[in-house]
A and B are shown apart, each in its own frame.
Chain A
Amino acid sequence: MTDSPATFLQWGVLQISLPNLIVLIVMVILFALAVTVPFPHSADAAPGHGGSDDLAR
């Protein structure tokens, strides 16, 4: 498997191997998830009520 050449996709002057395209798409998905998925709050934090508890630990 490692000795066989990768499948290449071509779109005009753009050419990319399928593994590289998959990695690129995974990175974009990861970025989208990192921006949209809420980060879990710690149990002892009381956000939005002032005081030092609003600082992330």
Chain B
Amino acid sequence: MTSHASPAGPSDGGSWTVSLRDRLTRTVPKGQLLPDRQPAYVKSWIYVFGVACLAALIYVVVSGLVLSIGGAAWWHESSVGHFVNSTHLWSVELFFMFMVVHLWGKFFMAAWRGRRALTWITGAVCFIGSIGAAFTGYLSQTNFDSQWISTQAKDGLNSVGIGGTFNVLNTGQMLLWHVMLLPLLVGVLVVLHVILVRRHGVVPPFDAIPPGGTGDVAGSAPVAATAVGTGNGSAAPTNVGQHDDVPVLEPSMLGRSS
């Protein structure tokens, strides 16, 4: 296969592969998708919870796939099924715990600053979708607990007029929402969320100083702070993280190339 070195810009119409490639490159510039270096202020435990949340979600999906092999009632009749079901439950518990700590951290950082509103929104909607996925999981236990929960939930959903469409007494419907629709929604939102984080970078601290500037960067264009240039005797604001590194903004660490 021969590779032609002609630069393909947006004007090179006619090829959807070129257009798609350009679009992807614009969305997440090369080197930003899976970076091996981060700004100094990312060295904080608060970011560990975002990654732990992703790890828990991966295990939730994997254990859910295993459970789908044996079926919804597998865990009632098999010790292996019971074990897998338990790990599925507890990984969900951890997923929510990590997600809430991540949410609290991002809230107090005002992580929507610098054109990161969509990152915040996708995370928040993902949180809501996850609650729906968890509730339909309770309805898929095929035991008296799920029966009780469904009879309680139907009144609430009927009161807002969606009980006829989203019938919590319909076990088959709830199971399919739990294993297909809601995981798909959460999965797509998580992917979008991570892509947006990679595109815009992690929100800089409140007191980060842009190159040549002294003001607050809240609401500014997406930039990421590094400690580059801290040895030049410039003013050293306090980092919101746990480091003494001075979060001076560095254009080369922009979330995108331009």
Contact = CB atoms under 8 A, between A and B. Distances in A.
Nearest to B108: A35
Interface stretch (B15-23, B65-73, B184-192, B237-245): B237-245
Interface string A15-32: 000000001001100110
Contacts of B93: 23
A34 B49 contact: yes
A30 B229 CA distance: 33
Contact of B227 (A27, A31, A48): A48
A5 interface: no
A47 B44 CA distance: 14
Contacts of B97: 23, 26-27, 30
B42, B45, B105, B242 — most chain A CB neighbours (10 Å): B45
Interface string A23-55: 100110011011111110100000111111011
B242 A54 contact: no
Interface residues of B, number: 32
Nearest to B227: A54
B257 to A, nearest CB: 17
B179 to A, nearest CB: 24
A34 B45 CA distance: 5
Nearest to A48: B230
B46 A35 contact: yes
Contact of B39 (A27, A34, A41, A56): A56
Interface in B59-105: 93, 97, 100-101, 104-105
Interface of B: 36-40, 42-46, 48-49, 93, 97, 100-101, 104-105, 226-232, 241-246, 253
Given A37-B242, A48-B230, 16 more contacts: A23-B93, A23-B97, A26-B97, A33-B45, A35-B45, A47-B230, A50-B227, A50-B228, A50-B229, A52-B228, A54-B226, A54-B228, A54-B245, A55-B253, A56-B38, A57-B37
Interface of A: 23, 26-27, 30-31, 33-39, 41, 47-52, 54-57
